[in-house]
Structure 1
Amino acid sequence: MTDDPVLFCLHFLGGSAREWRPLAAHLGPAARCVAIDLPGFGDAADQPGADVGAMADHVAARIRAERPGGPWLVAGNSMGAKVALALARRHEDGEEGLSGLAGLVLLAGSPPAPEPMAEERRQAMIAWIDADPETRRREAEAFVAANVGAPLDPEDHARTVEDVLRANPEAWKAWLTGGANEDWRARIGTLATPALVVSGAEDGDLGPEAQAALTLPHLARHRHVVARGAGHLLPLERPGALAALIRDFIAAPPGTGETPTLPPAFAALMGSERVNTRLRTALRERMREPDGPFCLAPEERATLAACLDRVLPQPGPGKIDLARRIDARLASGTGDGWRYAALPPDPQAYARALRSLDAAAAETHGRLFRDLAGHDQDALLDRAAAGRLPATPDGLAPELMTCWLEELRGEAVRTYLAHPAGLAAIGFTGIGAGGDDAEALPGYRLTGLDAREAWETPILETPILETSASTGDVR
């Protein structure tokens, strides 16, 4: 992308263009924000409610009127994200006036599928929007408070409540009964437009597992970031952090399928009452990509990633970044509490072992380990496991490579299975063994061979992890 793109910003249900002021201030000259009031909201509250297609028409007209000369992006929070996805499809289909779209920023986004909202809550939201002024204000206050991970700045809170109150009730109801339930999965398909997806760890309906299950499968190029402690109104809760993420995204768009998706059935289980709150919080935290500190040099991390791809292959377009997670663990000084006495401390052992692999690859093939074909990498790992790599001055002794590789296997599996996507890949349903009221939700009643509970059957239909091509086993 070139410098100074235009960022068109679409708000959440009940929000307005004012939602984006803090983010625009933090972005500064990195991007020019053009915030748009969707039909029925903000300064467009005099307009009737619209479906997703009509809202996309409204935004497309504004984009054409702005006529951005360079690349432009669309940011959407919640409701606005579904409209952004529809615009991206129209851009990729070659619609006139929409060329130049360079990226999507989807914040706690409504997915192409119908939103996973409890019908009882939907009806309650529909009921109070037409209530008397006192009830509406009380419910609007509660609505804003329930959608953030921590209280907003008083001024931001008051302004957001006022936006909810000035929303056209017909537009509010049109979204809850129509737009939120529209199924755009077939129409959206898989988008090639790069996307930054951000979810709040404290978001109930559209949190990390919903994004990984319902939005990421439609994005061929994406990065998914989980915002710790945040809820649903991310532009108001985390404007500074979002600005930094957007600047990085503009500078370096993601490659193909950078973060893993979740099967919808597993995401539904994870969000259900069968999983207790403490466990769900831990699982969501494990979906968050570590943001440092790290201890390995970039070339060492690249060699570790190549090694892990052979030790524990991950099928599918998105995968867990095991190397990044292990590197963060090394920097933190935590671990499983033991190591081989002959090995140096973990950070040193990893760095030296990775240098040994690169040195052996250079000696044998004239290239670094990460640049070799898979079968050549497998051959070197087999030699390392047997203690037959050549000695190198700044590497591990050949006999210690055997110990290190055993440690790496265990760490790879532990790291993989700590992530919800890893649990889903092996069809693990144990997270649903009981909710906050364990007595009311016993884990398993059926214990016979091949017997499945009704609630776990779809979870177990997910594919099992592929094994190493060279050994027929997880290394």
Structure 2
Amino acid sequence: MPPRFIRKKTVALGAAVLVCVLAIMLWRDPMLPVRVSFAVQGWWIGLSEKRVTVDDHRWAYDEREAKQANAATVVMVHGFTGSKENWYPLAERLGGHFRLVIPDLPGWGESQRIAGADYGFDAQAGRLAKFLQAIRRDGSPIVLLGHSMGGGIVAITAADHPELVARVGLMDAAGVRFRDNVFGAEVLAGKNPFAVSDAASLQRYLDTVFHDRAVQPAIPWPASRAVIAWRIGQAPFEQQVLDRIGRSEERFLPGQAAAAIRQPALLLWCRQDRVIDHSAMALYAAQMPQALQVSLDGCGHMSIIERPDDVAAAVALLIKRGVPR
């Protein structure tokens, strides 16, 4: 048998084996392509994956060191149905200037979820405070940023633990009684406006949180199929959390707690936010008169993805100057 034929046969066999291996991996873990994509993005930005156990939960978080050892530590807290990867566009723009710590909240993403545990505003704020204690460093003040549900959690944490939080930023934050909209009405009716069960509802979800379709993340098949299946599996947990933060007695707790925030602060909203209406910013501002207020046009609920340059500029201003009360 000619050597050339043997080589071709070997290459073909190797390719067939590789295809089989990939098929088995995808069968076992359909979300693998999505996770690989996120891992590549994180590596490109310079983030390192970290794990830490605080009390009864294991936290997954990404970290990037600053060029200067005493630079501020910027901690970014994601929102409902979100994950640490939502912050990657902002992390790319802040990287190097500050130490970045971007966690998955307990119950979400790669962090641990415990059956029957409370993942509402107050319980998560308590966990976040202990996480900050675990990752903080002497000489590196903590700048705590929160988006959506994460903004409500951050507001409570900053109010209850001023010794941990030097500056606070709330982006499109939940936790106040904003002007009525479709999203709020569905939550009060016991529905999950973010629920995904098929391709149409996945697109509806994206259209709800993003104002501009051009910046929506591309989710081609078969990744879209995996995402839909994953979200279907998450539905009971999502409803449990949404009932807690959107319909229970603690749904407005963040706005009430915000009156105790004395640190320099940032409030940032997009005018076309269809989830947490832009009117929420004025309600938070009434409790936090020291806050720098930034309104952005042409973007929706995901300001941190749709307008990362503007968000980065606002955060940098908060860190460098602050706004005294």
Q: What is the TM-score when the length of structure 1 is the normalising length?
A: 0.46
Larger Rg: 1
- State yes or no: 1:143 paired with 2:213: no
* Distance in 2 separating the partners of 1:208 and 1:120: 16
1:17 to 84, 95, 105: 84
CA displacement at 1:110 relative to structure 2: 0.8
Q: Which residue of 2 aligns with 1:198?
A: 268
The percentage of counterpart residues that share the same residue type is 20
More strand by share: 2
CA displacement at 1:166 relative to structure 2: 7.6
Q: Which residue of 1 aligns with 2:65?
A: none
List runs of 5+ in structure 1 lacking aligned partners.
93-98, 257-475
1:74-96 C-alpha deviation (Å, 9 max, x unpaired): 1111110000001011113xxxx
Q: Which residue of 1 aligns with 2:159?
A: 89
Question: Closer, same or farther in 2 for the Cα pair 1:59/1:151, shift >3 Å?
Answer: same
CA displacement at 1:117 relative to structure 2: 5.2
Matches within 5 A, 1:363-402: none
* Distance in 2 separating the partners of 1:209 and 1:62: 31
Matches within 5 A, 1:412-423: none
Q: Which residue of 1 aligns with 2:234?
A: 168
Question: Closer, same or farther in 2 for the Cα pair 1:166/1:51, shift >3 Å?
Answer: same
Question: Closer, same or farther in 2 for the Cα pair 1:128/1:62, shift >3 Å?
Answer: closer
Question: Closer, same or farther in 2 for the Cα pair 1:175/1:218, shift >3 Å?
Answer: farther
Q: Which residue of 1 aligns with 2:31?
A: none
Could you say what secondary structure the match of 2:143 adopts? strand
Q: Is the contact made by 1:42 and 1:166 (CA closer than 8 Å) also made in structure 2?
A: no
- Counterpart of 1:151, as a letter, is R
Question: Closer, same or farther in 2 for the Cα pair 1:120/1:111, shift >3 Å?
Answer: closer
Q: Is the contact made by 1:111 and 1:211 (CA closer than 8 Å) also made in structure 2?
A: no
Q: Which residue of 1 aligns with 2:172?
A: 108
* Distance in 1 separating the partners of 2:152 and 2:299: 20
CA displacement at 1:121 relative to structure 2: 2.1
Could you say what secondary structure the match of 1:168 adopts? helix
List runs of 5+ in structure 2 lacking aligned partners.
1-68
* Distance in 2 separating the partners of 1:128 and 1:180: 13
Q: Which residue of 2 aligns with 1:457?
A: none
Q: Which residue of 2 aligns with 1:415?
A: none
Q: Is the deviation greater in 15-24 or in 201-210?
A: 201-210
Matches within 5 A, 1:20-419: 20-44=87-111, 46-48=113-115, 50-69=119-138, 70-92=140-162, 99-113=163-177, 116=180, 118=182, 120-122=185-187, 123=189, 125-126=191-192, 129=195, 135-153=197-215, 155=217, 162=227, 165=231, 168-181=234-247, 182-184=251-253, 185-212=255-282, 214-256=283-325
Q: Which residue of 2 aligns with 1:4?
A: 71
Could you say what secondary structure the match of 2:200 adopts? helix
CA displacement at 1:162 relative to structure 2: 3.9
* Distance in 1 separating the partners of 2:114 and 2:77: 16
1:183-236 C-alpha deviation (Å, 9 max, x unpaired): 314444342111111100111342432211x21112131011111101001111
- Counterpart of 1:91, as a letter, is H
Q: Is the contact made by 2:179 and 2:277 (CA closer than 8 Å) also made in structure 1?
A: no
CA displacement at 1:30 relative to structure 2: 2.1
Question: Closer, same or farther in 2 for the Cα pair 1:13/1:156, shift >3 Å?
Answer: farther
1:116-149 C-alpha deviation (Å, 9 max, x unpaired): 55564224743884x7xxx245323311222112
Question: Closer, same or farther in 2 for the Cα pair 1:3/1:237, shift >3 Å?
Answer: farther
Question: Closer, same or farther in 2 for the Cα pair 1:241/1:139, shift >3 Å?
Answer: same
1:293-347 C-alpha deviation (Å, 9 max, x unpaired): xxxxxxxxxxxxxxxxxxxxxxxxxxxxxxxxxxxxxxxxxxxxxxxxxxxxxxx
- Counterpart of 1:121, as a letter, is E
Could you say what secondary structure the match of 1:253 adopts? coil
* Distance in 2 separating the partners of 1:128 and 1:236: 18
CA displacement at 1:38 relative to structure 2: 1.8
Could you say what secondary structure the match of 1:198 adopts? strand
Could you say what secondary structure the match of 2:168 adopts? strand
The number of residues matched between the two structures is: 244
Q: Is the contact made by 1:5 and 1:32 (CA closer than 8 Å) also made in structure 2?
A: yes
* Distance in 2 separating the partners of 1:217 and 1:188: 9
CA displacement at 1:67 relative to structure 2: 2.2
Q: Is the contact made by 1:79 and 1:180 (CA closer than 8 Å) also made in structure 2?
A: no
Question: Closer, same or farther in 2 for the Cα pair 1:53/1:228, shift >3 Å?
Answer: same
Question: Closer, same or farther in 2 for the Cα pair 1:189/1:203, shift >3 Å?
Answer: same
What is the Cα-based RMSD across aligned positions, in Å?
A: 3.0
Q: Is the contact made by 2:146 and 2:170 (CA closer than 8 Å) also made in structure 1?
A: yes
Q: With a CA cutoff of 8 Å and minimum separation of 6, indicate the structure with the bigger relative contact order.
A: 2
- Counterpart of 1:109, as a letter, is A
Could you say what secondary structure the match of 2:95 adopts? helix
* Distance in 2 separating the partners of 1:50 and 1:200: 26
